[in-house]
Chains A and B, each alone.
Chain A
Amino acid sequence: MPLLTRYFIKASLMYLVAALLVGGASLARAPLGLPAWVGLLQPVYYHLLMVGWVTQMIFGVAYWMFPKFTKTQPRRSIPLGWVTFFTLNAGLLLRVIGEPLVTLNPAAGLGWMLVLSAVLQWIAGVGFIVNTWARVKER
């Protein structure tokens, strides 16, 4: 299994745990009297699960298992693979922190975190598509 795949899969497992903790906290907010901001974590919960866990797991396994691009470059571009990994994770983490902060303090000037997060995650999506497209081919 390539090093990058291990990074993708291990990161995705950490997001799964984080997502379930956030989801659990949202459910337990009222009964346990947790602070009100925990109620703002719904979009964070969805995206930890869907982007952090599922999509990232797919990215890692596809990078490993899909048909080879060429004999000399089986996984197409390794650097682009790493760019995808870092932009996806930096973007998602920025969102996880930034989204509740912006919702709580709309006037605090933190909107840039979400803008940067959006750009980073978008780059990750495009990076994965570019690196994968030509590997999806008939034998």
Chain B
Amino acid sequence: MPRLAVWIVRTSLIYLGCGFTVGAYMLLNKGLTLDPNYRAWIYMHEELMLIGWMLQFVIGVGFWILPRFMQAPKYGAIELAWGAYLILNAGVLVTIAGGWLEGPGSSAALIGRALEIVAAAAFAVYIWPRVRPFLVG
């Protein structure tokens, strides 16, 4: 597995742990109601699970497993992929912080979402030429 894939997949595992913990906390409170405001955590939970865990895991495995180039650089424009990874995670963290501090519709949360879109576009541009038959070019 190339280094960047290790970073992306391990980061997604961290989000999986955080997201399951928040989910378990909310579910526990749905049963016991120690914290009647448990629903305040839903936005963070959704972001951790859908973007931090699932989307990121898929990107990481795609980066690892899709066909490489026969000539160096085997992974193509790797700086672009690193950029997508860093911007994606900045986006997740800004979205979570913005949603928590100022609400899901706040400009901070929207900036986080915009970063996620930029990251998705960067990754799409990066991976595009690697979507092809194995051992070509």
Contact = CB atoms under 8 A, between A and B. Distances in A.
A111 interface: yes
Contacts, number: 74
Interface stretch (B19-27, B67-75, B98-106): B19-27
Nearest to A126: B17
Given A133-B10, A136-B9, A136-B10, A50 B49 contact: yes
B31 A115 contact: yes
A118 to B, nearest CB: 4
Interface in A34-74: 50, 54-55, 58, 67
A117 B27 contact: yes
B57 interface: yes
Interface string B1-32: 11101100110010011001101110110111
Given A50-B49, A102-B30, A114-B27, A138 B13 contact: no
A41 to B, nearest CB: 14
Interface residues of B, number: 26
B93 interface: no
Interface in A100-124: 102, 110-115, 117-119, 121-122, 124
A128 B12 CA distance: 12
Nearest to B50: A50
A125 B23 CA distance: 11
Contact of A128 (B16, B30, B49, B50): B16
A51 to B, nearest CB: 9
12 contacts: A58-B54, A98-B31, A111-B30, A111-B32, A115-B31, A117-B31, A119-B24, A121-B23, A121-B27, A133-B13, A138-B1, A138-B6
Interface of A: 50, 54-55, 58, 67, 95, 98-99, 102, 110-115, 117-119, 121-122, 124-126, 128-129, 132-133, 136-139
